[in-house]
Amino acid sequence: MQHITASPGSMPLGVSDSPVYSDANNCDSGDLVADIAVSPGCNIRLFNNGETIFTEGSSADKAYIIESGYVEIFVGFGNESLHLNVLAPGDIFGEMGLIDASPRSASAKAIGPCRCIIVSATQVAERIESSSPLVRLLISMSLHRNRAYNAYLQTLANPQMRLPSPAATEKPYTRSHQYQQILADIKLESDLRNAVVNDELFLVYQPLLNLNTAKVVGFEALLRWQCPQRGLVSPQQFIALAEETSLILPMGDWILEHSCADLQRFQHQFDQLKPGSADFFISVNISVRQFQQPSFFERLIACTQRYGVEAKHIKLEVTEGIFLDEGEAIDAIDKCRAAGFQVSLDDFGTGYSSLNYLERCEIDYLKIDQSFIQKLCSSDRAQILVGSIIDIARKLGLPTVAEGIETPAQMAALRGMGCDIGQGFLFSRPLPLAEALALVGQPLALADCA
């Protein structure tokens, strides 16, 4: 046998016929083991000196963590076999075949008595499936490289063997839709990072109306991205990605900064018409991650102080997602409200569907999701739901906002149900700052819509 040492933990694996011992009392030999060998107790396998654990080419349904003893990994058979590595306690092996369902590309045998913890295919699959597409891609790539490396080592052991042709080494995953999507996301993410730095973002403002007086009472700040290569990109295309990455944090700071700067101008305009009025507000969307940031409150306060704007003119639009960590969310909301900010619950009815938090947490507005409003006049069930939401809100002393109003009939229905504030294309699309400023205090032609 020839000897070449490969990197530890890089070998793919097969299956042994050795007996399995259930031994829950022996699962405490280190963090790695404790993490992977979860309940209902870890399965232990014992191997004798020289015993084959699995052979190259066999199918893979489990991986192993060495608890005690040593394991030799090799490729090839008999005199032609090539020693690749010796693994020691703590090493994991046999994982590759579990990840990509390929046959073992090397063999493993015990050197001396050996005790291994079994990691099942399900345990591995569950963890991989819950990881991000990028992490899954990186795993696929490193598996591919390990397999190619094993193939290369085999050609050293058997000079008559040839390295696979370039066509045979083509990575199948590069053709998949998933891979193309990951590449597109990575490109989008790096363009978006530049967007924050290069000032390619801007805010537009959509008016919110008091449905009874038809007056514009505030605006929602909505993010836009003018990308030099892509043109105008809608937040629907990039906000989710920004939220998955840490990008939403600098982006969120940028939004706060610019909405406070713009609020200063709105306020000036409003004060000229109605000096001292507290009615006017701008709504700023705050993403879950941004809201959960420990320094969020301090950043918010610092921002309002920089621009000399008052908290009472700012509505923080948060989604039900923040209540996944209910205790923290309630504390953060209380803190913001105590400082004078208003908190509006956006997209109500679509997210974390428990009404618990409404009982435990005080907020200022309930914003009914536009998916309900769009079906309001075509679905009895949507009508019942919207009516009930408005009723519940009224009984809790919460004003309601309906977004996505597109037709006079939707507006009339909402008015009839007692909804307080409306927003939608029927009144106005989101506008550049200058056009929005011109609307301050103006009644929109609601009578025409009714």
User: What are the residues binding ligand C2E (CB under 6 A)?
Assistant: 206, 221-223, 234-236, 239, 255, 285, 287, 346-347, 370, 403-406, 423-425, 430
Residue 60 contact partner, candidates ligand C2E, Ca ion, none, CB within 5 to 8 A by sort of partner: none
Question: What are the φ and ψ backbone dihedral angles of 439, each rounded to 5 degrees?
Answer: -90, -10
> Least distance from C-beta 220 to Ca ion, angstroms?
6
| # chain residues binding Ca ion, by CB under 5 A | 4
The smaller minimum CB distance to Ca ion, of residues 173 and 357, is found at: 357
Name the CA dihedral angle for 147, 149, 154, 157, rounded to a multiple of 10 degrees.
-160
Closer residue to ligand C2E, CB minimum distance, 257 or 325: 257
Which residue matches tokens 């998916």? 371
Q: How far is the CB of 68 from Ca ion (least distance, A)?
A: 57
* Least distance to ligand C2E, CB of residue 201, Å: 9
**Closest distance to ligand C2E from the beta carbon of 158 (Å):** 58
428 makes contact, choosing from Ca ion, ligand C2E, none, with CB < 5 to 8 Å by partner type, with: none
**Residue 424 contact partner, candidates Ca ion, ligand C2E, none, CB within 5 to 8 A by sort of partner:** ligand C2E
> Is 320 a residue that touches Ca ion (CB under 5 A)?
no
Q: Does 285 bind Ca ion (CB under 5 A)?
A: yes
Q: What distance in Å separates the CA atoms of residue 104 and residue 203, rounded to the nearest whole number?
A: 54
> Nearest approach, Cβ of 181 to Ca ion (angstroms)?
26
Least distance to ligand C2E, CB of residue 287, Å: 4
DSSP assignment, residue 320? G
Among 185, 262, 346, 364, binds Ca ion (CB under 5 A): 346
Question: Minimum distance between the CB of residue 395 and ligand C2E, rounded to whole angstroms?
Answer: 25
Residue among 186, 247, 204, 198 nearest 227 (CA): 198
Range 124-163, binding Ca ion (CB under 5 A): none
The enclosing H or E element of 181 equals: helix 177-197
Task: Name the binder of 56 from ligand C2E, Ca ion, none, CB < 5-8 A by kind.
Answer: none
| Closer residue to ligand C2E in complex, CB, 103/351 | 351
Is 364 one of the binding residues for Ca ion (CB under 5 A)? no
Contacts for 340 with CB less than 8 Å, ≥ 6 apart: 310, 311, 312
222 binds, among Ca ion, ligand C2E, none (CB under 5 to 8 A by kind): ligand C2E
Q: Of 55 and 342, which CB lies nearer to Ca ion in the complex structure?
A: 342
User: Minimum Å distance from CB 406 to ligand C2E?
Assistant: 4
Beta-bridge partner residues of 62: 120
317 binds Ca ion (CB under 5 A): yes
- Cα–Cα distance for residue pair 185/243, rounded to 1 Å: 13
Contact call for residue 423 and Ca ion (CB under 5 A):
no
Contact between residue 400 and residue 390 where contact means Cβ atoms under 8 Å apart: yes
Strands (E), 121-233: 201-210, 216-227, 231-233
Give the one residue of 347, 374, 383, 385 binding Ca ion; rule: CB under 5 A: 347
**Taking contact as CB under 5 A, which single stretch among the options 135-143, 231-239, 347-355, 431-439 is the one that binds Ca ion?**
347-355
Burial class, 281, CB count within 10 angstroms (exposed 0-12 / middle 13-18 / buried 19+) = buried
Give 120's strand partners: 62
* CA atoms within 13 Å, Cβ hemisphere of 326: 11
Helices 296-307 + 248-273 axis angle, to 10:
40
Least Å distance, CB 258 to ligand C2E, is: 9
**Residue position matching structure tokens 């996505």:** 404
**CA 416 – CA 151 distance, rounded (Å):** 73
CA 46 → CA 53, 59, 69, 85, 115, distances in Å?
10, 20, 10, 20, 5
Span of 138-146, 225-233, 317-325, 391-399 interacting with Ca ion by CB under 5 A = 317-325
Comparing CB distances to ligand C2E, the nearer of 358 and 405 is 405
Residue 164: DSSP 8-state: P
Q: Which does 73 bind (CB under 5 to 8 A by kind): Ca ion, ligand C2E, none?
A: none
Residues of this chain that bind Ca ion (CB under 5 A) = 285, 317, 346-347
